[in-house]
Structure 1
């Protein structure tokens, strides 16, 4: 068992391998283990980026959750608008639940797929360019928009790609502004 003790060096923790056994062993067998992750190569420790699998999970899950919440909110509004004169309370609740569930699933799946495509394109761009900066995010946004609307034709893909690039650029610029002025 590893136990955290405050010592002169905060980056280590004490580890006693025989702690759970009632053996008369001195404290000379305590080991100081580092608390930070250990890397095999120094290049791994210099990267401050999530892996492609973590990105895939993060962007897809976040997109699905945000899309589901937005779709549910939109569904609540449309469910309330669909009330008719003489509806009972059960029927009104049923309309709201059906509408919010339908739109929540629909929006959640669409935005989740956009997050999935973005994570894949961004990981490919970072791997190809061998750098991770704001421009790779903008290129990934451009590619995501183009791929998402590619089935509707070249013009639709070009417009969606431009919009995706602008949205990604806006997010990158907003992130830089927050870092500079909000000290995040």
Structure 2
């Protein structure tokens, strides 16, 4: 074909495809070697600068170079309380430990006992010849009524007792049965504060006696 504005002819040329043998030859050719100063990398990977290799790793972090002596899970909070008279059947690690674990244990215990009592109460109060849905509703009402009530009550009592008992331990620098009895009596009295003197006295006596008995059993073993 002759172009109208030129003397040369343009022909459509198709690009030549490389044969599979050329790819094989290229893959089998040796890697390009690079030379930096007097050293060379035969694999084609450039060498690291000297400022990145001349590093003392033991100076990077205080924990470097400890080897097998490194114990990450060695916490100081695992030490038992040094307060005289504070250890017994259950080892104490201090005020925060007693407050958290004691409150959680009593709350879950009260929740479980209250739920079992509510379950039995719901079964007992079912009307005769009631349908299955009504029986299930009666049981669920008993569980949700008794369980959370007893759990919340024991949780509040545990928080109050541990706070007062911890204050007495710090004030006297000693833990004994007297601290437990006084803390229990004050906790029981405050719990029934709005119900008059007689309910307050009964609650204080019951709570103080219970905590005194627990402290005696805990310290005896």
Question: What's the TM-score, normalizing by structure 2?
Answer: 0.59
Name the CA distance, whole Å, in 2 between partners of 1:36 and 1:90. 54
| Matching of residues 87-102 of structure 1 within 5 Å | 87-102=130-145
Is 1:78 aligned to residue 91 of structure 2?
no
User: CA shift at 1:45, angstroms?
Assistant: 7.0
| Matching of residues 82-161 of structure 1 within 5 Å | 82-161=125-204
Is 1:32 aligned to residue 69 of structure 2?
yes
Match of 1:51 in 2: 94
Match of 1:7 in 2: none
Match of 2:211 in 1: 168
Q: Summarize the Cα distance change of 1:91–1:36 in structure 2 as closer, same or farther, 3 Å threshold.
A: same
Matched residues, number: 150
Name the CA distance, whole Å, in 1 between partners of 2:150 and 2:160. 15
What SS does the corresponding residue of 2:69 show, helix, strand or coil?
strand
Name the CA distance, whole Å, in 2 between partners of 1:55 and 1:61. 10
Name the CA distance, whole Å, in 1 between partners of 2:146 and 2:81. 43
Cα RMSD (Å): 2.7
The structure number with the bigger radius of gyration is 2
Question: What's the TM-score, normalizing by structure 1?
Answer: 0.69
Per-residue CA distance 1:11-33 (angstroms, 9 max, x = gap): xxxxx836xxxxxxxxxx53635
Runs (5+) with no aligned partner, structure 2: 1-62
User: CA shift at 1:121, angstroms?
Assistant: 0.9
Work out whether residues 176 and 215 of structure 2, in 8 Å CA contact, stay in contact via their aligned partners in 1: no
Name the CA distance, whole Å, in 1 between partners of 2:176 and 2:81. 18
Q: Which structure has greater helix proportion?
A: 1
User: CA shift at 1:145, angstroms?
Assistant: 1.1
Name the CA distance, whole Å, in 2 between partners of 1:130 and 1:46. 10
Per-residue CA distance 1:139-172 (angstroms, 9 max, x = gap): 2112211111122223322221121111111112
What SS does the corresponding residue of 1:46 show, helix, strand or coil?
coil
Runs (5+) with no aligned partner, structure 1: 1-15, 19-28, 180-184
